[in-house]
Structure 1
Amino acid sequence: MNMEQESNNNIKKADLSRYGITSRLLMKEALRKGYQVTTVPGRLATSHVVRCEKDGKELYFYNLNTALNPSYAVQVNEDKIWTNNILHQSHIQIPDTYPLKINRPEDVVIDDTLRKMLESYELLVVKSATANYSNNVLVNAGDEEGLLRAIHHVYQNSGGQPDIIVQQMVFGQEYRFLVLNKKVIAVACRRPPYVVGDGVSTIRTLISRKNNNCSKYDNRHASLVAKINIEDVSRHKGAHFLQQVPEKGSVVEVLDTLNLSRGGEAVDVTSYVSDEFKTIAIQAASACFFGIAGIDIVTDNISGDGNDSYVVRVKASPGIRMHQFPTEGKPRNVVRKLFHAIEKTAHPIGKKIVMIGRVEKVALPDLVNEKFKARIDTGATVSSIWASDIRVDKTGLYCKLFGEGSPVYTGEELHFSEYSMRSVRSSNGYEELRYQVVINVSLAGRRVKAKVTLADRSGQIYPMLIGRNILRNKFIVHVAEGDIDKKAESSNRQELRQNGLQ
C-alpha cells in the first residue's frame, strides 16, 4: 500500500471534508501540538488512517479507532448479539433480547419465547444483528403477523443477513456517555429532529425555516448542525404529515432517528449526571475491553441511581461532534483529552510501519512451505499457533504444526532443542500453561523472529493468532481490511457466541 504523503501545509490547506469530523478534529489537534501529519488511504475514499510524527515517535488513528481499543474487541462490537451477551454476563441491564438465525424467512415461526415477549411488552423492535444495518421495525404488543412481517422486512433490507434480534422496546431519554480510560469525560442528551409549532405554519415550512437557521453546514458527514431532509421526512411520515399545522408551542418530532447527520440534536448534560450512571457507563466499556467507547443509556432520570436504566448500545468508535459542538449546553473540549490519551500509544520510529488487516496470510519460512491465514489481534500479548502431538524428552520438544483436517497440515514432526513454558490468559479469563518456542514469521513482506505458544486451535477459524509481540512497532491494524474468511466466520459465529471470544 502506498502512503499518501501530505505535508503539514498541505493538510492545513486540503479539503478536509474527505475525512470524518472526528479524524479532522484530531488532525487539527495534532497540528496544534506540532506533529507532522500524513495519511494512509484505505479501500474506501474516506477510510484514511492518520499518521502523526513528532520527536522520533509516531502514532496512528482512524476516527476513534486507535491502539486504545484492541482489534478483537472492535470485531466483537460489530455483532449486537455478542455485545449484548457480554453486557448481560457482566450484570449490566440491557433490554430483553431474543436472537434469531434465519435461513429462509418463510420458515420463521412464532415460538413460545417470542409469544411471551409479545404478551409482556408494549412494543418490540426488530433489527439486524450486524451493526452495519439500522432498518429497525417496531411491533405492537400481541401482533404476531406484524412481528413476522417485521422479521421479513429486516432480513430483506439487511442484504439477507441471517442474524436478527427481537428486542424489548425501552422508553425514556437516550444519553451518550463518552468513556476514556475508565473515566466519563462527556455526556450528551440525544434528541431526534423536531420543529416547534407557531399555530400558522405547516411542518414543511417549519423545517425549511429551521434549516435556514443552521449556523454551520458542510456536508452529510461533517456538518456541525445538519439540515433535516424534507424528502426523508415525506418518505417516512407521508406527504400529508408535512402539510399539518402544529399548535403554537407544540414540539413535533419529524424523524425517528437520533443521528446528528440527519438533523438530530445534542444537549450537553455532563454536569447533571450522577456517579451511579458514570459507573454503569464505565462498566459497559470495560466489559467490552474498550479504552475509548460511546455508551448509550436510556433512562428517565439521569441524576438518579440508574436502577431504571438500560444500556442499549456500545460504540467502539463514537463520534465526538455532539460533545465538542453540542446544539445546547457547554461545549466539552474532548478532543484534547482524547488526543492526549492517544499520544501515550506513540512508539519510536523504526522501520516503516506497515498497515495490515485483521486477517492476513503469513508464512513460516523455516517450517512450512505454504502460506496460510492468521488472525491479527492487538489485544493479545503473545502469539500462538496450532500444534498437535506435542511431546518432550531430554533432547527437546517435538510437535506437528496444525492438525489433521487443516489444508496446510503435512504430518511432519518438528524438533525444537530450546523451548519454555508460559502461562497464557485468554480474553474470556481462562488461564492455561503452554509450551513456547521461537520461530521466524513472514508477514506483509517483513520477517520477524518471535516467541509463539503452542495451542490447540482446532476449533478456531484461523490456525495462528498474531499478537502484540510480533506487531509492536512494525504493523498497524485496520480492522475493516484484510483477507477475511467471511463464510467461515459466519458459519462459526453461533458456536463462538456460546463459548466466548475466540
Structure 2
Amino acid sequence: MENKYESLELSTQIVIEEALNRGVAVEILDEKENFIRLRKGDKTEYIQQATKTSADPYIIPLIMENKQLTKLLLSEHSMSVPKGIEVNSLSQAIEIYPSFENMNIVIKPNTTNFGKGVFILDKSSSITEYRSSVIEALKFDSTVLIEHFIKGKEYRFLIINNEVVAVLHRIPANVIGDGLHTIEELVFIKNQSPLRGKGYKTPLEKIELGKVEIAHLQKQNMDTSTIPSNNKIIYLRENSNVSTGGDSLDYTDEIHVGYKEIALKATSIIGAKICGIDIIIEDYNTEPSKDNYSIIELNFNPALHMHNYPYRGKNRHVEKKILDLLGF
C-alpha cells in the first residue's frame, strides 16, 4: 500500500489496494471520513469506510442500526434473539430493576456500534453498578436495551452478497501473566506489537486501561499493579470487540455450517448485502437449535481488516468480495 493511503482506516486501505490491482482508478474525496470514489470505464462507485456502499439502500442501515427493530424483525421469523426490555430514562430502568435483579444482563444503547456504551453485569452486581451503567448507556442513545445475558461465545459472521465470507471469534482484551510483570506492564508489552494501534489503521487496537478496564479488574479483586501468575489469563473487559483491544481468531472453516445458514437467513430478512452479524453460540461444533444460539445484533458498517489480519488464522481477502459486489 502506498504511503499516501496510510492516513485512512485499514479496511479502506485494503479496498483501495484491491481496486488498484483491478485497474480501478481511486480518488480520496474526504480523508477524515474515509470517503473514496472508484472509477473504471463508465462505471463509478462511492464508498465510505470500506463497507458503506450503493449495494444497500439507505433504509437497510437504518434498520440494522436500530437494535430493537432488528430483534423484532428477526423474532417474527422465529430466529433466536435475547429477551429484554427497552427504557428511555434512568427512572424507567430503576423501576424495572427487580425484574433483572440477581441475573446476568447486558445494558446497551439502541443504536451504537463498536461496543460503545455496552455493559455486561453479572448476577452479583449491585443496583449502584446497574444505575451507573444505564447512565453511561443513555449518553449514547435516548433508548437503552436491558437484556438477558446469553451463555456462550461470540462470533462475528461477515456476509457479502449472500455469502458468508468470514467468521471470527473475538476474545475480550486480555493479558497473560508471567509471574513477573504487573498487569499495567503486561498491557504495555502487548501493545508493542506492530499489529496494534489506534484509529482502525492497524489489524488490532491497543488495549486501554481506562475506567471500564479498572472496574473489571476490581470485580476480580485485582488492580493494574497486580502480578498475575504464570500463564494466567486476565480479562480486562466483558465485551469482546476488537475496537476495544480484543483479539480476533478465525473460525471460518471450523464453525458448523448451520450457523452460517442462520447468519444468511438473518441477513436476508433485513435485506442487506453487506452485514456483520454477531451471534452467541454455546458450541460451534454442535448443530443449531432454538436454545443454543442467539443473534445479538446486525452491524451495517462491519470492519473488513480484522478478517484479513486476525490475531490467529488466515487472511480471508474479504475486500475482493466488496469489489465483486460493486461490479469491478
Among 243, 246, 260, the residue aligned to 1:264: 246
Determine the structure 1 residue equivalent to 2:6: 16
TM-score with structure 1 length normalisation? 0.59
- 2:84 aligned with 1:97: yes
Contact 1:110 1:144 in 2 (8 A): no
Determine the structure 2 residue equivalent to 1:205: 185
Q: Partner letter of residue 335 of structure 1?
A: E
* 1-structure distance, mates of 2:54, 2:194: 35
Contact 2:275 2:301 in 1 (8 A): yes
- 2:208 aligned with 1:229: yes
Determine the structure 2 residue equivalent to 1:78: 65
- 2:264 aligned with 1:248: no
Q: Deviation digits for residues 236-294 of structure 1, max 9, x if unmatched?
A: 63695111122222111123332323321111111111121111110111111101111
* 2-structure distance, mates of 1:180, 1:37: 21
Determine the structure 2 residue equivalent to 1:167: 147
SS of alignment partner, residue 306 of structure 2: helix
- 2:198 aligned with 1:219: yes
* 2-structure distance, mates of 1:168, 1:290: 26
- 2:322 aligned with 1:332: no
Which has the larger share of strand? 1
- 2:176 aligned with 1:187: no
Contact 1:39 1:51 in 2 (8 A): yes
Deviation at 1:217, TM superposition (A): 4.4
Structure with bigger gyration radius = 1
Contact 2:109 2:138 in 1 (8 A): no
Over 3 Å counting, the alpha-carbon distance change for 1:126 and 1:260 in structure 2 is: closer
* 1-structure distance, mates of 2:243, 2:301: 16
Instruction: Identify the structure with bigger relative contact order (alpha carbons < 8 Å, sequence gap 6+).
Output: 2
Over 3 Å counting, the alpha-carbon distance change for 1:144 and 1:267 in structure 2 is: closer
Q: Partner letter of residue 108 of structure 2?
A: K
Contact 1:77 1:316 in 2 (8 A): yes
Q: How much is the aligned-residue C-alpha RMSD, in angstroms? A: 2.7
Number of equivalent positions: 321
Contact 2:10 2:305 in 1 (8 A): yes
Among 6, 16, 31, the residue aligned to 1:27: 16
* 1-structure distance, mates of 2:253, 2:98: 42
* 2-structure distance, mates of 1:58, 1:314: 28
Determine the structure 2 residue equivalent to 1:359: none
Q: Deviation digits for residues 179-199 of structure 1, max 9, x if unmatched?
A: 122211111111112111222
Q: Deviation digits for residues 411-449 of structure 1, max 9, x if unmatched?
A: xxxxxxxxxxxxxxxxxxxxxxxxxxxxxxxxxxxxxxx
- 2:42 aligned with 1:52: no
Percentage of identical aligned residues: 22
Over 3 Å counting, the alpha-carbon distance change for 1:153 and 1:330 in structure 2 is: same
| Mean CA deviation greater in 260-269 or 237-246 | 237-246
Q: Partner letter of residue 16 of structure 1?
A: E
Q: Partner letter of residue 199 of structure 1?
A: G
TM-score with structure 2 length normalisation? 0.88
Q: Deviation digits for residues 202-223 of structure 1, max 9, x if unmatched?
A: 22222222222x1334533211
Deviation at 1:234, TM superposition (A): 4.1
* 2-structure distance, mates of 1:255, 1:138: 9
Deviation at 1:76, TM superposition (A): 1.7
Deviation at 1:171, TM superposition (A): 2.1
Unaligned runs of 5+ in 1: 1-10, 345-502
Determine the structure 1 residue equivalent to 2:111: 130
